[in-house]
Structure 1
Amino acid sequence: MKSKSSFPIWLKLCLFLVTWFVLLLVFEIISQSLLPQFSEKISPIYKLPVRTVNHLFQLVATLSSIWLFTKYIDKIPFISIGFYTKGKLKEFVSGFFLGAIIMAIAFFLLLSLNEIAFNSYWIHIKSILFSILFFTSVSVLEETLCRGYLLGQLVETSNKYVALVVSSIIFTALHSFNPNMATIPVLNLFLAGILLGITYIYTKNLWFPIALHFSWNFFQGPIFGFEVSGQKFYAVIQQTRFEDNLLNGGSFGFEGSLLATFLMLIVIFGIWRFYERKSISS
């Protein structure tokens, strides 16, 4: 649904980002004051719950910012940014399985090339549940922000491909302070933004990118044992890299590898081709 705002698009997006940062700060203060007992300084055992709880506060701040702007500035329903559910189950399931398949290909290909080694597996139900909650909040937050609102607004006023590139640059910038950042991770984060946004410019729906984002992260870290954007998480599969290089991604994880670059380019082209053909035939 088209925004009814009279604000110039760039001014509105700047005001939105300022509002978002302010609310993030407010909710961070609230989370730190309400949950001092979960401080990471007390015990490493609480690291995952703290990270999860803090991210849930960030999610609330993000959704609140978007709701304020959709209601009072754009004057459109919040759901219209991409949360319509009718007939979208297929898109959600497709996104979920696509992320799982990409990570399975990455793991077994690197295993066959002797880039990584399987050590053991460790199933810990509590950690799996925390991981599901954490990566659900990550995918909903980042997709609602970068695709649902920012890309959705940009598509209204500019070429859809320009809008996709700009939103992907913002998505990359939001990850710029992640550990072990380097040139290939920056490139791959940008391509991830393209991959997650390519369906949105055709469908204006968030269920595919949310499912893909969740599945990509969840299978990458908690299942197959890679770092996720430079960060370590609990993993079912315990693996070891023989050396850090551009094929396995090193300490940034699979997202820092040239293999990830290659796979994302293939999938991006495939999705683009599918929707272009679909638009021509219709």
Structure 2
Amino acid sequence: MRSVFRDGEGHLRNGWKGLGFLLPTVALVGLLLWLWTLLPASVKPFVPHSFLAFLGVLLGTLGALRLERQPLASLGMSVGRGTGRDFGAGALAGVVLVGVVAICGWVAGGFHLEHAANAQVAAVVKAAWLMLGVGLFEEALFHGYLFQRAIRGLGTFWAQVVISLLFCLAHPFNTQMEVPTRVVAMLTTFLAGWMLGLCYLRTRHLALPVGVHMGWNWFLGLMGFGVSGKESHGWWTPVFHGRPEWLTGGAYGLEASIFCVVVLSVALIALTRWKGSAAPEPRAMPRPDEAPALHG
């Protein structure tokens, strides 16, 4: 049994570390989301459930790191001089990417946008606040401790494959969607997970992927498209022209459009060629019961 739980040097395998992080974290997130339902209706808008979900992941992460005697900054979850710059650049990139997808769909005659009747600035700001929480939650969960221990155990490529698959499967896909649309939506979500993983790998910090995640979701909602299948109301409302769903994304949103696959593929090529801005990591002496970190 030693070989199942321990490596050749007697250290706990990274797969078990990841599982030991994931199970209590999911329980914590579930508990906090249940507590959110007990909040007064007047308080809920100021405390989006996504921030409580992020708090659950943060607590699970701190617990796992405490066992390894590692700081939170070792996962790229810290506030430094470049954090705001990377976050801002990521948010802008997310807006540009989804904007290009929308332009492609519009040029192809799939839809046009009409100004929403009751558009309010407060609703747009609220949506940005909500999507910030979503970005923090999902990036801390998928590209924080779990992803980085997967890199140690599997190497960068297979860690990307596994985490991107988990990222894809964690998103709901309506069974009533047409099969081609569902396939495109799943492929897009997988590619998005890979892109966000590359954003971390090129900077060794979560600020860039959080920014991309937030900017992407927020601009989707601003244009009135569905965000991963969830209905949204923004400054505009898309009016579809009866073209195939796999072209426009339909009710699911632009993430089910074939143009999204193309745009994300181009983004992946660009990120792969980019050398990144990550500073060389200092060598740290491992604990007696901790294997040295292996970075892909």
Which structure has the greater CA radius of gyration? 2
Amino acid at match of 1:158: L
Counterpart Cα distance in 1 of 2:165 and 2:190: 6
Count of aligned pairs? 263
CA drift at 1:275: 2.1
Q: For residues 77-130 of structure 1, give each alpha carbon's deviation from its aligned partner in whole angstroms, at most 9, with x where no partner exists.
A: 112211342334443232122111112222222222221122224531221122
Decide whether the 8 Å contact of 1:180 with 1:252 is kept in 2: no
Counterpart Cα distance in 2 of 1:206 and 1:265: 21
Change (3 A) 1:231 1:23: same
Q: Identity over the aligned pairs, expressed in percent? A: 22
Change (3 A) 1:173 1:133: same
Gaps of 5+ in 1: 39-45
Q: Establish whether residue 56 from structure 1 lines up as the match of residue 51 from structure 2.
A: yes
Q: For residues 206-229 of structure 1, give each alpha carbon's deviation from its aligned partner in whole angstroms, at most 9, with x where no partner exists.
A: 1110110000000111x2221100
Give the 3-state SS of the residue equivalent to 1:232 in structure 2. Answer: coil
Instruction: Report matched runs for 1:125-136 at 5 Å.
Output: 125-136=121-132
Q: Which residue in the other structure is 2:138 paired with?
A: 142
Considering fraction of residues, name the structure with more helix.
1
Amino acid at match of 1:168: S
Counterpart Cα distance in 1 of 2:83 and 2:125: 25
Q: Establish whether residue 263 from structure 1 lines up as the match of residue 273 from structure 2.
A: no
Instruction: Report matched runs for 1:234-253 at 5 Å.
Output: 234-243=233-242, 244-253=244-253
**TM-score w.r.t. length of structure 1:** 0.84
Q: For residues 46-85 of structure 1, give each alpha carbon's deviation from its aligned partner in whole angstroms, at most 9, with x where no partner exists.
A: 9x939x63222222212111111112x2221112211342
Gaps of 5+ in 2: 1-9, 280-296
Amino acid at match of 1:136: L
**TM-score w.r.t. length of structure 2:** 0.81
Mean Cα displacement is larger for which, 78-87 or 148-157?
Answer: 78-87
Change (3 A) 1:240 1:49: farther
Q: Establish whether residue 163 from structure 1 lines up as the match of residue 159 from structure 2.
A: yes
Q: Which residue in the other structure is 2:198 paired with?
A: 198
Counterpart Cα distance in 2 of 1:55 and 1:88: 21
Instruction: Report matched runs for 1:18-37 at 5 Å.
Output: 18-35=23-40, 37=41
CA drift at 1:263: 0.4
Give the 3-state SS of the residue equivalent to 2:144 in structure 1. Answer: helix
Decide whether the 8 Å contact of 1:188 with 1:261 is kept in 2: yes
Q: Which residue in the other structure is 1:229 paired with?
A: 228
CA drift at 1:203: 2.6
Q: Establish whether residue 83 from structure 1 lines up as the match of residue 83 from structure 2.
A: no
Decide whether the 8 Å contact of 2:95 with 2:215 is kept in 1: yes
Q: Establish whether residue 173 from structure 1 lines up as the match of residue 169 from structure 2.
A: yes
Mean Cα displacement is larger for which, 73-82 or 184-193?
Answer: 73-82
Q: Which residue in the other structure is 2:292 paired with?
A: none
Change (3 A) 1:74 1:241: farther
